[in-house]
Amino acid sequence: MIRADYVLLRKLSTIFISIAAAGGGGTFLSNAYISRFSREEAWISALAAVIGYSGLLIILFAYAYVRLGPVRRWLAMGSKGSPAGLWNRLNRFPAEAFVIVAAYGTAVSQLAQFIRSRSAGAAESDFWLEYGKSTLFNLSTMLLLGLAHYCLLQLLLRRYARKLQTTEMPDVRFYTFVRPLAVSFCCVVAFAGIRIIWYAYDRSAEGLPLEIGVFMTIVLAAAGLGTVLFVTVARVFFKELNGIVGELRRLLHKPREELLRSIPLAAGDETGKLASAFNALQTRLNLEYEQMEKDVRLAGGVLRQLLPERELMLPSLAVSFAVQDAGEATGDLYDAIPLDEDRTALVVGSVQGSGMSAALVISALLVLVRAEVRSGGSAGDVLERLRSHFTDALPAGMPAAVGLCMVDARTGAVEAGALGDFTLCCSDGARGIDAAQSASWNSPLLGYAPAGPIPPAYISVEPGSRFVFARSGEGASKGRPAVTAELRHRT
C-alpha cells in the first residue's frame, strides 16, 4: 500500500516520465525526418536522448522530493493549519521545474552537440555555425518541454495548494495570468520559426528543393503543441475562476456561521488575487459581526435589567407579556406599574431598531413612562406628556409605538390609549371576543409631529375575563408586542 505522503510524488513522476518519453520520441523523429540524420546517427542521437532525459528525470525527481517534502508530510498528517511557506513552495514549483528543464536540457544538448561536432572533424567555421544553429534549436525545444512541465504541474498542484486551506497571503507577490500565455506563444513561434529557417538553410546549402510537406509538418506540430499549452493554461485558470464563483454562490445559501467562511487560495495569479481580496473582506465582516454581536449581548443585558418578568401575578390581576426575546435586543418594551392597591398601569410598545441604540431609547422611555404614570392623569394625558417630551428627542429613523392601559381591578374598568397602531379587545373565554368592547388606534408614532388629541377607549372586564392589548399594523410581528391581562376574583 502506497503511503499517503508519496501519492504526490507518484503523480509528479508520471508527469515527468510522460513528458520525457514524448520529448525523446520527438527528438528521434525530428533528427530522422527533418534534420535527415542517417539511420546510425538517428539511433545514436536517440541513445543520447535517453541518457539525457534519464538525467533530467533524476534531477527533477530529487528536487521534487526535497522541495515538496514538507508539503507532503503536512498533507499526510492532515493538519488543520497551513504555514505560508508551504503554499509558496507549491506555487513556485512549476516555474522552478520550467527553469530546471530549460537550463539542464539546453546545457546537456549543447554538450552533446559539441562532442558530436568535434568528433566529426568539421572545419572551425562550419563547427561554430552548426553549434549556433543547434543552440537555438535546443533552446526552443527545451523551453517548450519546460512549458509542458509548467502547465501540467500547475494543473496538478493547484488542487494540493487548495488543501492547505491558506486564506491570507499578505507577503505573496502575485503574477498575471497573461504571463504564461505570452511565454507559451513566444516559445511556440520560436520553435516553429527556428526549425523552418534551419530546414530552409540546410536544403539551400545542399542545393536541394524545399518540400512543402516538411513545412506543413513543422507548422502543424507547433500549432498542435501550442494549442495544447494554451488550452491547458487557460483551463487551469478558468477552472479555478469557476470554482471561486461556484464557492461564492454556495455561500449565499449557507447560514451566517458559514457565510463568512474564507476561500482557500490555489494560485498566485488573478484568481489568487480575487480570493485574497474576498477573504480580506470576509475578515473585516467577521470583525464587524463580532462587534455587532457584542453590542447586542450588551443591549440584551441592559434590557433584562430594565424589563420585568413576562408573567406577573398581581393581587387582583394576572398579566402576561408577549414580546421578542430581550436577549436579541429587538426593540420591544413592556412594563407593569402598580399605582395603588387596585390600580395598575400596563405599558407595551416597540422601537424601530435593535441593538444598543434601541436599548438606550427603551431605557429612556421606560424611565419617563414610569415617572409620568406616577404623576397622575388618564392614559391619554400620560401619552400627551410623553409625546411632548419625545417629539424632537428621538433619534432620526427610530420612532416608537407606545400603548398604555390603566386597569382598576376593583371596578373592572380599563382605560387605554396608544401612539401607533394598536388594538384592544375583551374576551370571557366562553362567549369569545366581545365586539362591543374593543377598540383600535391608528395614530402617529412617538417621535413624529402630533396629529391631534389621542382618543381614549374604555372597556369593562368581569372577574375571570381577560383583555388583550396588542400592537397591530405595520411594524407588528405576529401580534407582538402584546399584553394579556386576566382579572382575578378577590379572595
Residue 388 pLDDT: 82
Q: What's residue 428's pLDDT?
A: 66
Structural domains for the chain: 4-283 (no CATH), 309-487 (3.60.40.10)
Report pTM: 0.57
Residues of the chain where predicted confidence (pLDDT) is lower than 70: 1-5, 33-37, 78-84, 116-133, 165, 167-175, 256-257, 324-330, 354-355, 391-397, 428-436, 449, 451, 473-480, 488-491
DSSP 8-state secondary structure symbol assigned to residue 452: S
The vertex-388 CA angle with 352 and 355, nearest 5°, equals 20
Q: What is the pLDDT of residue 444?
A: 83
pLDDT value of position 485 = 76
Contact 267, 161 (CB under 8 A): yes
Task: Give the Cα separation of 247 and 245 in Å (integer).
Answer: 5
- Side-chain half-sphere CA neighbours of 399 within 13 A: 16
Residue 233: partners with Cβ closer than 8 Å, 6 or more residues away: 151, 154, 177, 180, 181, 184
Q: What is the pLDDT of residue 470?
A: 86
Sign for the CA dihedral angle at 163, 167, 168, 173 comes to: positive
Cα(126)–Cα(104) distance, rounded to whole angstroms?
Answer: 25
Q: Per-residue pLDDT tens for 297-328? A: 777 777 777 777 777 787 778 888 887 654 45
